[in-house]
Structures are given as C-alpha cells and as structure tokens.
Structure 1
Amino acid sequence: MPGMIVWLNGTFGAGKTTTSGELVRLLPGARIYDTEEVGFMLRRLRCLPPVKDFQDWKPWRGLVVETAVHLLDQLGGTLVVPQTVLVEQYWTEIRTGLEKAGIRLHHFVLDSDEDTLTHRIDTDSVEAGARQWRLDHLPRYRAALPWLSRAATVVTTSGVSPAHVAGTIAGTIA
C-alpha cells in the first residue's frame, strides 16, 4: 500500500499547523510533510520567473506530488499536509497527481468564522510579522470556499480545540 495523505486546507489562522501536530499523535506512522519547504527550495533558483506565491510555479505543484510519492515509498504511513491551496486548478493538479500515484487522499478544509480567524492572526506570536499578509488573504479564502466545500470535508474550528478537530478528522478517516 503506497500510504495515505491527510491534507489540511483552509486559510491562515484556521488551525492547520496546530491540528497537524495533534493529528500525528493520533495516527500511527503519521508525520508532517510541510510542502512550503518545496517552495522555499524553488525560491532559491534564480531562473524561475518572479511570482508572489510559489504555488504559481508549476514545478511546485509537481514536486509536491513527487516528493510525497517518494516519502511514502520510503517511509510508508501517513503524511499530514498543512497547506493552504486556494486556486482550484492547482488543487486539481495536486489531487490528480496523487490519485495517479495510487495514494489515498483525505482532504479537509479547516474553517472558522471571521472573528475567530482575525483574533488568531492578531494574537499569533510565531508569525506576527505576517499579520497583514495573512489578513489580506481572508477574502481570497472566502472566494475559494464554494469550490473547497465541494472538494473537501469542511471541519469547523471555531470554539473547539485543535485536539478536538484532530480527533474528528482521525475518526473520519479510520
């Protein structure tokens, strides 16, 4: 069996990173696969055209899939991916690549109300420097929510702990 991916989508402040940590404690053989690292690697290449978001580079999407395939081939188990993807075409490319590789994919969107998201972003001491950037992405997330709701299981994170959210997700995929 080639393994499984649990993809946690949603906007910044929805709880993807914290929930991922909780989820790996609940799922035997699970580990976090941070696809942003692929983007950071690509940013070092000066030959790619400048973009505002590394997801705009087609190589990012392909390498996310290929890296997942190789990690699961080597390690087995489950990869938990806390990554916002708001462009439907990009998600389709990633999903299709994983499906072609025979990887079981569970896609969840962590969703919170606007007040909760704003509060979490305002009080996040880890990424305090990205506050405005994160707030500026809330309208893009809301615009993407219709297709995300069709493509994933939406899990509400307002008023519940990350451990509860992780338990809900773990129970869904069991």
Structure 2
Amino acid sequence: MIVWINGTHGAGKSTTSALVQELLPNSRVFDAEKVGEVLMDIAPALPDLGNFQHWDPWRPLVVETARRLLEYTGGTLVIPMTVLVESYWREISAGLDGYGIPVQHFVLHADEQTLRDRIQKDKVLGPSSFRMAYVEPYADAAEAWLHAEAEVIDTTRISPELAARRIAERVLRRHADVKGGS
C-alpha cells in the first residue's frame, strides 16, 4: 500500500514521513521529487513550466516507479509529496488504483502564519521564496478539494512525532479493518 503525505512546504512532510516509516513495519520512504529531479537532468532541458509536476511524464513515472518498488519490496511506501493540482492527484491516484495499489492519503496542515514562520526559520533549507510561493496555492487547494480528499492532520501545534503516530495509528487501524473484513 501507499501512505501519501501531502501538504505544502513547511507542513512537516519530510520529517513526519521518516517518523511514519519507523512506525510502520516493512515500509520505505519514496521521495517522488527524485523522479522530478531525473527529469530536470535531461539535456537539452525540458520546457520551463515552473514546476516539474507540470511535465506530462512526471505523474505516470511516479505511478510506475511506486508500482515497481512495491512489486520488488512489498510492504508500504510512504510518499511525502506536495500535489496541489487536483487533476494531477486524480491522474496519480487513478494510476495507482489501476494497479490495485491502495492509497491512504494524508494532508499535513498548518495555518498560514505557521507555514510562513517555518519556511522563514528553516535551519536546514533556510528561507525560500520558492517554498513561500506555495503557501497561497496550498490554501486554495485545501479549500477547493484537497482537504475533502484526504485525512487532515493539523500540525500547527503538534510535534512531527505526534503527527507520525496519528498517521501510523490510522494506517494500522485501516490495515486491521481490511484484514478483519477479508
């Protein structure tokens, strides 16, 4: 199965995903951004569309890579990846569904000021106008479709450890429910 951890920059996806992976047996973190980085390395460069997610190959390559990884390793893939364009999420989730891969979709949410503060004070990446530019599109997506599509974990006032525990508990509960219903 896949545990997709969505949300914008500063919500805690990378940190939380690593912690979720530690809590879920036989799980691995797959950073779908690496697929975008591969596409960014093509020479001559693909058209500049502002974000690798806009390149048509990215979405099916994420699906295919996830499918092949699960086929090879089994278990659970934890994927920390922001997807704010609804049609892109539909394409990815439909692709995974077409392979019979269940996806449990979470969104890490934090209020706007908290996101801006986290991005501005990030000790690893430093302040980033690129990351800051996604705060408003995230709010728009959250209101329009994203929060209705996923289980929302508000990280505004909780630690990444607690967010990870909540996600792992929900994943394990769902897994037990599915096994119990089979």
The answer to whether the superposition gives a TM-score over 0.5 is yes
Give the counterpart of 1:21 among 13, 18, 26.
Answer: 18
1:50 has 2:40 as partner: no
1:36 has 2:49 as partner: no
User: What residue number does 2:118 align with?
Assistant: 120
1:170 has 2:168 as partner: yes
Return the TM-score normalized by structure 1.
Answer: 0.94
1:95 has 2:89 as partner: no
1:161 has 2:159 as partner: yes
User: What residue number does 2:109 align with?
Assistant: 111
Give the distance between the partners of 2:148 and 2:27, measured in 1 at CA: 26
Give the distance between the partners of 1:171 and 1:47, measured in 2 at CA: 43
Contact between 2:30 and 2:77, CA under 8 Å: does it hold in 1? yes
In structure 2, give the amino acid aligned to 1:56.
Answer: H
Kindly tell me: are residues 149 and 75 of structure 1, through their superposed partners in 2, closer, same or farther at Cα, counting changes over 3 Å? Answer: same
User: What residue number does 1:5 align with?
Assistant: 2
Give the distance between the partners of 2:163 and 2:50, measured in 1 at CA: 31
The runs of at least 4 aligned residues of structure 1 exceeding 3 Å deviation read none
Give the distance between the partners of 2:47 and 2:114, measured in 1 at CA: 36
In structure 2, give the amino acid aligned to 1:109.
Answer: V
Question: Shift in Å at residue 47 of structure 1?
Answer: 5.7
User: What residue number does 2:176 align with?
Assistant: none
Q: Which range moved further: 120-129 or 24-33?
A: 120-129
Give the distance between the partners of 2:5 and 2:52, measured in 1 at CA: 18
Q: Secondary structure at the match of 1:109?
A: strand
Give the counterpart of 1:76 among 69, 74, 91.
Answer: 74
In structure 2, give the amino acid aligned to 1:72.
Answer: L
Q: Percent identity?
A: 49
User: What residue number does 1:134 align with?
Assistant: 131
Give the distance between the partners of 1:49 and 1:133, measured in 2 at CA: 18
Q: Which range moved further: 96-105 or 48-57?
A: 48-57
User: What residue number does 1:143 align with?
Assistant: 140
After superposition, the CA RMSD in angstroms is: 1.0
Give the distance between the partners of 2:46 and 2:80, measured in 1 at CA: 25
Question: Shift in Å at residue 44 of structure 1?
Answer: 1.5
Give the distance between the partners of 2:130 and 2:72, measured in 1 at CA: 36
The answer for unaligned runs of 5 or more in structure 1 is: none
